[in-house]
Amino acid sequence: MVVFVECRTETDRDILEKELIKISALTVGRPKKKLPTLLLKFVPIEMEDAEIKSTILQRNNLLHLSDSVLQKKFTKRSFDDARHVVIEISPCLRTELLTIHKLKLQWSLCEVEDFITVTRCHKCLGFGHTARFCQNQAKCSLCA
Protein backbone atom coordinates (compact mmCIF):
# COMPACT_ATOMS: atom_id res chain seq x y z
CA MET A 1 0.00 0.00 0.00
CA VAL A 2 1.19 3.51 -0.84
CA VAL A 3 0.28 6.55 1.26
CA PHE A 4 0.93 10.12 0.12
CA VAL A 5 1.28 12.81 2.78
CA GLU A 6 1.36 16.53 2.01
CA CYS A 7 2.96 18.88 4.53
CA ARG A 8 2.49 22.63 4.79
CA THR A 9 6.19 23.45 5.10
CA GLU A 10 9.48 21.80 4.23
CA THR A 11 10.40 21.78 7.94
CA ASP A 12 7.28 19.75 8.75
CA ARG A 13 8.12 17.39 5.91
CA ASP A 14 11.67 16.86 7.16
CA ILE A 15 10.52 16.20 10.75
CA LEU A 16 7.90 13.70 9.58
CA GLU A 17 10.40 12.00 7.29
CA LYS A 18 12.94 11.59 10.13
CA GLU A 19 10.32 10.04 12.40
CA LEU A 20 9.02 7.66 9.71
CA ILE A 21 12.54 6.45 8.87
CA LYS A 22 12.82 5.17 12.47
CA ILE A 23 10.00 2.69 11.78
CA SER A 24 11.59 -0.31 10.06
CA ALA A 25 8.33 -1.57 8.53
CA LEU A 26 7.94 1.58 6.44
CA THR A 27 9.71 2.74 3.30
CA VAL A 28 9.94 6.50 2.95
CA GLY A 29 10.35 8.22 -0.40
CA ARG A 30 9.55 11.41 -2.26
CA PRO A 31 7.72 11.52 -5.58
CA LYS A 32 9.84 12.27 -8.62
CA LYS A 33 9.17 15.55 -10.36
CA LYS A 34 8.32 15.24 -14.03
CA LEU A 35 9.98 17.52 -16.52
CA PRO A 36 7.75 19.41 -18.96
CA THR A 37 7.41 18.09 -22.50
CA LEU A 38 7.22 20.03 -25.76
CA LEU A 39 6.14 19.04 -29.25
CA LEU A 40 8.50 20.14 -32.04
CA LYS A 41 6.58 20.17 -35.30
CA PHE A 42 8.21 19.55 -38.67
CA VAL A 43 11.73 18.59 -37.57
CA PRO A 44 13.75 17.68 -40.69
CA ILE A 45 13.78 13.91 -41.15
CA GLU A 46 17.53 13.84 -41.85
CA MET A 47 18.34 15.43 -38.47
CA GLU A 48 19.69 12.88 -35.99
CA ASP A 49 18.18 12.68 -32.49
CA ALA A 50 21.59 13.33 -30.92
CA GLU A 51 22.03 16.68 -32.68
CA ILE A 52 18.60 18.15 -31.80
CA LYS A 53 19.79 19.72 -28.51
CA SER A 54 22.97 21.27 -29.88
CA THR A 55 21.20 22.61 -32.98
CA ILE A 56 18.38 24.19 -30.94
CA LEU A 57 20.82 25.90 -28.59
CA GLN A 58 23.25 27.12 -31.27
CA ARG A 59 20.87 28.28 -33.99
CA ASN A 60 18.46 30.05 -31.62
CA ASN A 61 21.03 31.92 -29.45
CA LEU A 62 20.35 29.87 -26.33
CA LEU A 63 23.92 28.80 -25.51
CA HIS A 64 23.60 30.43 -22.07
CA LEU A 65 21.21 27.54 -21.24
CA SER A 66 23.59 24.79 -22.36
CA ASP A 67 23.46 23.03 -18.95
CA SER A 68 19.67 22.59 -19.30
CA VAL A 69 18.01 19.22 -19.79
CA LEU A 70 16.82 18.52 -23.34
CA GLN A 71 16.26 14.96 -24.49
CA LYS A 72 14.08 13.31 -27.08
CA LYS A 73 11.29 11.13 -25.71
CA PHE A 74 9.73 9.80 -28.92
CA THR A 75 8.67 10.62 -32.46
CA LYS A 76 4.93 11.29 -32.56
CA ARG A 77 4.38 11.35 -36.31
CA SER A 78 6.54 11.02 -39.43
CA PHE A 79 6.06 12.47 -42.90
CA ASP A 80 8.10 12.18 -46.11
CA ASP A 81 10.50 15.00 -45.28
CA ALA A 82 9.74 15.87 -41.61
CA ARG A 83 8.53 14.48 -38.31
CA HIS A 84 6.95 15.66 -35.04
CA VAL A 85 9.22 15.02 -32.05
CA VAL A 86 8.33 15.12 -28.34
CA ILE A 87 11.16 16.35 -26.12
CA GLU A 88 11.57 16.51 -22.36
CA ILE A 89 13.18 19.74 -21.16
CA SER A 90 13.99 21.77 -18.08
CA PRO A 91 11.46 24.46 -17.06
CA CYS A 92 13.75 27.44 -17.79
CA LEU A 93 14.43 26.19 -21.33
CA ARG A 94 10.72 25.53 -21.86
CA THR A 95 9.93 29.16 -21.11
CA GLU A 96 12.55 30.38 -23.60
CA LEU A 97 11.40 28.03 -26.38
CA LEU A 98 7.73 28.92 -25.98
CA THR A 99 8.52 32.64 -26.24
CA ILE A 100 10.45 32.04 -29.46
CA HIS A 101 7.56 29.88 -30.80
CA LYS A 102 9.40 29.02 -34.06
CA LEU A 103 12.80 27.34 -33.79
CA LYS A 104 15.51 27.41 -36.41
CA LEU A 105 16.64 23.84 -37.15
CA GLN A 106 19.03 23.46 -40.06
CA TRP A 107 17.27 25.23 -42.98
CA SER A 108 13.72 25.10 -41.65
CA LEU A 109 11.51 26.62 -38.95
CA CYS A 110 9.85 24.29 -36.46
CA GLU A 111 6.78 25.19 -34.44
CA VAL A 112 6.90 24.60 -30.67
CA GLU A 113 3.98 23.87 -28.37
CA ASP A 114 3.33 22.20 -25.03
CA PHE A 115 2.75 18.45 -25.16
CA ILE A 116 0.33 17.36 -22.46
CA THR A 117 -0.65 13.75 -21.94
CA VAL A 118 -3.89 12.77 -20.24
CA THR A 119 -4.00 9.43 -18.45
CA ARG A 120 -7.29 7.64 -19.12
CA CYS A 121 -8.62 4.24 -18.10
CA HIS A 122 -10.03 2.08 -20.90
CA LYS A 123 -11.93 -0.05 -18.43
CA CYS A 124 -14.10 2.51 -16.55
CA LEU A 125 -13.40 5.47 -18.90
CA GLY A 126 -12.18 7.55 -15.94
CA PHE A 127 -9.21 9.90 -15.86
CA GLY A 128 -6.07 9.89 -13.74
CA HIS A 129 -5.38 6.15 -13.78
CA THR A 130 -5.00 3.23 -16.21
CA ALA A 131 -6.93 -0.03 -16.54
CA ARG A 132 -4.07 -1.88 -14.88
CA PHE A 133 -4.79 -0.14 -11.55
CA CYS A 134 -8.56 0.27 -11.98
CA GLN A 135 -10.85 -1.01 -9.23
CA ASN A 136 -14.07 0.39 -10.75
CA GLN A 137 -16.71 -1.46 -12.69
CA ALA A 138 -16.22 -1.78 -16.46
CA LYS A 139 -18.21 0.58 -18.70
CA CYS A 140 -19.11 0.45 -22.37
CA SER A 141 -17.06 2.86 -24.48
CA LEU A 142 -20.04 3.55 -26.76
CA CYS A 143 -22.83 4.26 -24.28
CA ALA A 144 -20.88 4.52 -20.98
Residue 122 covered by a domain: no
* Total structural domains within the chain: 2
**Running DSSP on this structure, what letter comes out for residue 26?**
-
pLDDT per residue as tens digits for the range 83-136:
899 989 888 888 888 888 888 888 888 899 999 888 889 899 888 888 888 889
Q: What percent of the chain has pLDDT over 70?
A: 99
Q: Same structural domain for residues 41 and 24?
A: no
pLDDT at 1: 67
Q: Same structural domain for residues 27 and 41?
A: no
Residues with Cβ within 8 Å of 84's Cβ and at least 6 positions away in sequence, in order, are 39, 40, 41, 42, 43, 75, 76, 77, 78
pLDDT per residue as tens digits for the range 49-72:
888 888 888 888 888 877 778 888
pLDDT at 12: 92
pLDDT per residue as tens digits for the range 36-53:
999 999 888 888 888 888
Residue 17 covered by a domain: yes
Residue 142 covered by a domain: no
Please measure the distance between the N-terminal and C-terminal CA atoms of the chain and give it in whole angstroms.
Answer: 30
Residue 13, domain extent: 1-31
In a 3-state reduction of DSSP, which class is residue 12? Answer: helix
The answer to pTM > 0.75 is no
Q: Same structural domain for residues 46 and 106?
A: yes
Whether 54 and 98 have beta carbons less than 8 Å apart is answered as: no
- Helices (runs of H) and strands (runs of E) counted in the chain: 3, 5
